[in-house]
Amino acid sequence: MNVFISHSESDADFVKQFAAALTAQGFHVWQADREVLPGDNLWLKVGQALEDADAMVVVLSRRAVVTASVRRDIEFALGSPQFRGRLVTLLVEDVDEIPWSLERLPVVRIASRMPARAAKLVAAHLKLPREKAG
């Protein structure tokens, strides 16, 4: 399963470790730092990665809530049938408010920034049949 991780750049260190742990669980995770080369059009590559993804994980932090690209990713996922039952919010810290568009979708909460634990919980959700996943 191809997974796109939407996140704030301020969460990049956690996301790198989380992506590695999710890959170890058998998922293919698109990562801009590995797949976008100098001179490539970043937004074109991101758009292609979103089109190719089977699932999206939104890493939600205080910074991510106010990041325009995270909001655009969420809007894209909500409007795309390919993400039905395959859009998961990973809450990595307390935020004042979860975006209303994510409130009714599955939320995985972790007590602290533990990427391996987070990957295990997210992987369990993504392996559910779509009907049960939400």
Tell the residue number behind the tokens 């939600």, with chain if given. Answer: 60
Tell the residue number behind the tokens 């939407």, with chain if given. Answer: 6
Q: How many CA atoms lie within 13 A of 13 on its CB side?
A: 3
Least confident of 54-58, 89-93, 111-115, 127-131: 127-131
Q: Which domains does the chain have, with CATH numbers?
A: 2-128 (3.40.50.10140)
- Taking 70 as the threshold, does the pLDDT of residue 131 lie above it? no
Model pLDDT, residue 98: 83
Model pLDDT, residue 133: 53
Model confidence at 38, in pLDDT bands (50, 70, 90)? Answer: confident
Our CA angle for 52, 12, 19, nearest 5°, is: 50
- Taking 70 as the threshold, does the pLDDT of residue 92 lie above it? yes
Burial class (CB in 10 A: 0-12, 13-18, 19+), 59: buried
What is each CA distance from 1 to 4, 25, 28, 127, in whole angstroms?
A: 10, 11, 6, 9
The DSSP element (H or E) to which 126 belongs, if any, is helix 115-126
- pTM of the full structure: 0.89
